[in-house]
Structures are given as structure tokens and as C-alpha cells.
Structure 1
Amino acid sequence: MTHSPAPLIKRFVPLMGAALAVMVTSGAALASVQPAPAPKVAAMANEQLRVVTANLAFRGPDAVRNDWNTIGPEADIVFVQEAKNVRLRDILGDGWAVRQDTSSEDRQGSAVVIRKSAVKSIGELQLVKGVDANDCDSPQGGIMTRWIAQVDVQLNNNRWIRTASLHLPPARCQTGLGSPYAVMADNVVAFAKRSGRILVLGADWNKVVDDDPNDIGARTGLKPRGPDTGTRIDGFYVSPEISTNDLRHLPQTGSDHRPVRMTIAVPAP
């Protein structure tokens, strides 16, 4: 005997409804255990670093090693001048990356030293000529060729910055247009303008940092940062994107220049 189609359909429809109900319930249960969407990663904060500029006054390893007891604990990046009598990598520990060209006295004079743990990556040293050797028409003597010691550094927030240590000529070489000081000031301006990266320059400027008749700050857009008291010729020029605070002299070392310290805050790229 055969069954008519109608009773079969009547039995099949409830079964289909039950199956659909199970599928819907299972889908809701699965949805309830799916991981929540990952939160958006917050933008990385400004990276803070302590920078120090220090003229070592042409002294040797023992004297500079003593100086570092004052400088080292206060610094992540050190801009060094008058270092022709010391090979810094010979006296500093493995925690420091030394960028100093020791192939000749004039090239050795300015250097950049970076605390390895404070940054992500450190480039190689590049020397850019500041001014040729000159006798400055002075009985006190002239100057050797002076260089801008440049090192690119990647910070922990992934920003690359360009750091540079330099030493402008002394007063006996500051005799107006065409003098060694004016020539090097022009070369510093050209260096800054073609840099392509935000800059931190640390130097013995041999003039009051924020009162420069050669207008390095005005011509480059860099901000001068020098101490308010004492000898005011050591300090920094920084790109306008960088904020600064805690600018002060460190205690006197064996040099006739007191190191100058500052904290910078560098925005993420």
C-alpha cells in the first residue's frame, strides 16, 4: 500500500523547522564565543632622550674617563668637541656606541656617543666639512679643518633623527664676512637645509647660543637652546617639531667648559 504525498509533507515540515531552529541556536552560540575585534593600536608617544654637549678641552683618556662619571649618568646622546687627544671607544664601556673618526687629529675632534639601550638603531658617522684650516691672521694661532660629525639615530618610537656635533671657530677667527666663523656658519645652515630629517645639533658655538649675529636659527628654522647663566657658548639647535625641557649645566668637570644637558621629546613618525 502506498502513502499519499500529503501526510509525508506534513511530517517533513516540522522536521525542517526543528533543524533550522538548531542551526540558528548553534550560530548564536558560535557568535557569542568569537573573539572581540582587536582594539586599534594607539599612536606611539613622544620619545624622550637626555642630550649632553661637552667640550673635552683636548685632554687625554684618564681625564675624560673622570669626566664621564659626571656626563654618562645624565646622558643618552653626547655631543663631544675637542676630543683629538682621546679615542673615546678605548675608554667607554660596551654600553656606548662611539661614532668618532680617529684617522687624523682634525677629524677626531668632534664625535657623537650614544647609549645603545636608549635607541633602536644607530647609523654610521659621516663627516661634513665645516671650514678649511686657517691661520686666522692671529698670533694666538689658527685652526685645523673643522667638521660636522653627523650620525642618524632611530628612536624606539621608530622616528629617525639626525644628530650632529660641531665646534665653531673661536673669537680670533670671527672677523666678519668671509672669516672662518662666517664660512662655517654658512655651511651649518646649508647642512640643516638639505638634511631631510629632524635635527639635534650639539656644539661649542663660541658665541652665545641664542644671540648669534650669523642668524643660524633664523636662517634654518632651528630653535636655539642654551643656558641662561655662566658661559653660554655651549648648547643646542633643534628642529621645531622637538620639544625641550630641563636645560641646565652639569657639575664642573676637569674641562674649562661645563657640560650642558637637556631633555628632548621627539614625536613618532
Structure 2
Amino acid sequence: MAQDTQAEPLKRKAYERELRRLQSQLCQLQDWVKQERMRVIVVFEGRDAAGKGGTIRAITERVSPRVFRVVALPAPSSREKTQMYLQRYVPHFPAAGEIVIFDRSWYNRAGVELVMGFCTPEEHDRFLVGCPVFERYIVENGILLLKIWLEVGKEEQARRFAARIDDPLRQWKLSPMDIKSWKRWYDYSHARDQMLAATDTPYAPWHILRSDNKKKARLNCIRFLLEKIPHKRVKHAKVKLPPRSNHGAYDDTASLQGRNFIPERY
């Protein structure tokens, strides 16, 4: 078992320094993905308040959204409910030179849909049987598939829920579904165990990310991605800005006089 280092403190300056270093490497990674026309899918799953959103933001805040594309699908429409379950996810898969991050994915059926009764037990069983076949097709098609489960402890989840209740900047994160899910900790644990048993395959394994310490989880996740997505540094010629042309020069600030400006209050 990995050494328990989640409780050890990580000072903000040390975190920010290491985050910046890893994010610069993510920028190098995206250059390689574009050049080699790679296709990558990263699936993030976990309990409510496990830290998926913050981890994804740490990954994507310094890179191009045209390379790192985040997909967070809403509840299915009435039309989508009549489709094959996995059908609505496929159009969001990466083209050449893209990394698609699923903030929750087709594994909704293995978690919240099962626990909250949005699918039947037969639909859930059918998903667990068909999902490995679906993922084998993804991998054999040349897409690199990485599946990450964020594991947060019971006490830490309770602390984060309490913080959301009292913080007006985070109250929006508490949906009615979150409140209903709150009391069903062990139902979600059983659902997680069933999911891992059925879909943790040699060609598409699950990777558990301990997330009681948010800062460490973000750093560990980025480092994991850098290790799992093969890449090299792409050499770029140094950019030199050409001189601006004065053709058609005029006072282009005076032409804004009389327009509606946003008040400068700071």
C-alpha cells in the first residue's frame, strides 16, 4: 500500500511553485499531442466533493482549450434517453491532436444512476458487461484512455459539504441531488466496488487518486498524466515580432470618444 502522506501539510508557496512547474510541462505535452496527432481521453470519476472540478481546473488553466477539451454533459434529454446509453458520449471523443477530459462520463450508470434509481438493475448489469467491450474498442482504435477515480474519505467529504453550506461562493455546488446522495455513503461504496471489479481491465485500468488533500491530489494527478501520456519537448523557433505598419495611421484612441465605457471603480 502507498505511504499515507495525505495528512502531511503542503505549504501554499511550495504548492504553487510545483504546480507552475508541472503546468509548464503540460504546455510541452500539448505541443507533442498536436504534433503527433495523438488522441487521448481522461475520465474523472469520484464521489461528490472528491475534488474533480479543482483538479481539472489545475490541469487546464494554463493550456489551450482547443487541445485540452473538457466535457461535462448535463442530464440526458428526452431524445437521448431513447438512444443507446453510450451513444451520446461518442460525438465528444477526441480528433487528432486533442485531449478530452470527461468530468463524469459513461460511468454515471455505475454510480449515481444506480444508487439514485435512475436506471434499473438490469440496465446497470448490462452496462457493466458492455463497458469493457466498449473501452476495448476505444483503445484498439488508437485512443489512449486513462480512467481516474478520486477517493475522498468520509470525514473529509463531510467537512467539504459543511464548508459549502456556509460559503456563499460555494453554495451553488450543493444541488438537491447532492443532498439526497449525502446519506447514501455505503451505497456509493458498493457501487464503486462493483464498478472496479467489472471494468478495471488490463487495457483500460482504473487509477485511484487519493484526494483528502486537494493540493497534493492535483499535483499527483498532473504528474501522473505527464508520466502516462508519452511525449517529448517540441522545439520551436524563437518568435520575433515584425515591425508594425504605419499604413493608414490615424488617432485610433480619439475615435472611441463618446462610446460607452465600463466605469473604472478599481
Q: Quick check: TM above 0.5?
A: no
Q: Give the TM-score normalised by the residue count of structure 2.
A: 0.33
Larger RCO, structure (CA 8 Å, separation 6 or more): 2
Higher helix share: 2
Per the normalisation by structure 1, the TM-score is 0.32
